[in-house]
Amino acid sequence: MTRKDVATMATGEWLNDEMVNFTIGTMADREMARCGGTQPRVHFFNTFFVGKLTTQGDGYDYNAVRRWTTAKKVSFFLFSNCLPILTFCLIQLGYDLLECDKVIVPVHQGIHWVLAVIDFKATCVRFYDSLLGNDKGLVEDLLRWVTDEWRNKKEKDVSTESWSVEIPKDIPRQMNGCDCGVFMLKYADYIAVGCPLTFHQRDMEYFRRRIVADAMEKGN
């Protein structure tokens, strides 16, 4: 994370992926600390997940993200003269994503940030947009991902035809053209801990300062 990244937290600036992923990472760390490093209730994807999932071929490519949710470590060795010279591992979670209650999915729509929440317990996908828009294509891709994830990780055919789709409208709304990223992060933050969405546009400047303070503290 650079000074340029942190500068996107200034009032009136658009958040970039680095600052969003830093903040999402602190939420994930908090959740892992809460569960003692075992099985969290909430999984957080970073901002690159949807881009990888939806940019290939027909606009959907499960194989591009299949290994993102590998639960166990898979080590590889490179050998020279029969001796291992390099070891590396695939991305692993260390837990079973399908046992989580919710999956938080931040989405960058080019010039706008939105949030999707996959709720396994409620069998529902919720879409949060501080401008009250919707993205049916994204929701369909996430439902398709749920089916593919069950098939790949559990070898079970799980249909999402009965799942509901919710696009809440009674949510905090942005009143300018630059705070969508902060709204998206606070949706994720509040939903992850089970709190009602009680913040407002007037709180955005404080939230920006708080994120910068957290970044500076972690960097020290």
Q: Please say if 112 is a catalytic residue.
A: yes
The active-site residue out of 129, 135, 141, 179 is 129
∠ CA 183-187-190, nearest 5°, is 130
Contact 100, 42 (CB under 8 A): yes
**What are the DSSP calls for 55-103, one per residue?**
SSTTT--GGGTGGGG--S--EEEEEETTEEEEEEE----SS-GGGSSEE
Catalytic residue (one of 112, 135, 141, 189)? 112
What is the residue type of 150? W
Active site residue 129: yes
Active site residue 43: no
CA proximity to 20, closest of 220, 207, 170: 207
Active site members: 112, 129, 180
